[in-house]
Amino acid sequence: MTMTSVPEFQHRTVLLNEAVDALELAGARADGVYVDGTFGRGGHSRLILSRLAANGRLIAFDKDLQAIATAEQVQDSRFSIVHDSFATMHDALAERGVSAVDGILLDLGISSPQVDDASRGFSFRNDGPLDMRMDTTRGLSAAEWLATESEQTLEKVIREYGEERFAFQIAKAIVARRAVEPISSTRQLAGIVAGAVKTREKGKDPATRTFQAIRIFINKELEDLETGLNQAWASLAPGGIMAIISFHSLEDRMVKRFLAAKANVEQPDRRLPIRAIDLPQPELKLLAKIKPSDAEVDENPRARSAVMRVARRLPVAAKGAA
């Protein structure tokens, strides 16, 4: 397969060894079935495959067409790729004859090639068409959405998904500009935001939060994450491990709350006559919270905001006879 249709941009997989180590691919577990919910450019998947035994299996997911093209070059009978969101995991696995898996890895970050390729429209640093879709075959582009959405909704999205305190001013400026000319390029949008944002944190571009917000909304990232966490849980075998890498506070907050709800169960009043074996039991054990080392951040500044949470699904405790 030629690579002419797949532009090459350097990508460094964040927490590469730490994430794959967390799946505990040794002994009998090396013969298990695993999921890489976000293939990206395959860094995690390739390392997982290098540690799987001959009978092991890895099923990966991705919405991005360039990621799919890269995945299709992996020549390994133990590997398969699904062109869809990890939010479809449970049904996709069932279609492939898999009822439960031994480990799931979700790397929620946008990949460096997506950011660095100006034609994708994710970055304000290089001018390009304002697209921002992970899967360019589905849904509205950012330009199409900005052209028609109400000022109130624009403000809400920018405020909630970008945690942007100047959301009102930015939304108002977008509506004013689109009345004069279509907003079709990343440079146009970045300029509009810069004109509306009067102050900003040192070292951060004024457009950072707005671009993040629109990307998250266009790709339904938080909706996918909420559904995907439940899909992953439904697919994980007892003793199986989940490792989830997030890159901003909205994602990490959702992951933290999901795991905490499974790990911490409300106990009844101790004065009630309930046997210990009948008390509510936690469904998972929190194993680790890991951040990139200083050395990794020095080599790859995009790793700075990453945090990985790792948990193991606990076996269901058997109830005693009445």
- Cβ-contact 198, 166 below 8 angstroms: yes
Q: Which H or E run includes 16?
A: helix 16-22
Residue type, position 305, single letter: S
* DSSP codes, 201-225: -TT--TTHHHHHHHHHHHTTHHHHH
Encode 199-237: b = buried (16+ Cβ within 10 Å), e = exposed: eeeeeebbbbbbbbbbbbbbbebeebbebbbebbbebbe
Ligand-binding annotation for 195, yes or no, is: no
The answer on whether 162 is annotated among ligand-binding residues is: no
107 is annotated as contributing to ligand binding: yes
Distance, CA of 268 to CA of 66 (rounded, Å): 51
Enter the tokens of residue 321. 């006879």
Instruction: Report whether 44 belongs to an annotated binding site.
Output: yes
Cβ-Cβ contacts under 8 Å for 278 (sequence gap 6 or more): 319, 320
The annotation status of 114 as a binding-site residue, yes or no, is yes
The C-alpha torsion from 238 through 240 and 233 to 218, rounded to 10°, is: -170
Confirm or deny that 248 is annotated as ligand binding.
no
* 66: DSSP letter: H
Q: What is the CA radius of gyration of the chain?
A: 22
Structure tokens at 86: 């990890």
Q: DSSP states of 116-133 as a string?
A: H-GGG---SSS--BS---
Query: Is 62 labelled as part of a ligand binding site?
Result: yes
CA of 295: how far to CAs of 110, 208, 211, in Å?
Answer: 21, 25, 28
Q: What is the C-alpha separation between 18 and 255, in angstroms, rounded?
A: 18
State how far the Cα of 60 lies from the Cα of 45, in Å rounded to an integer.
8
Binding positions are: 42-44, 62, 86, 107, 114
Binding positions for S-adenosyl-L-methionine are: 42-44, 62, 86, 107, 114
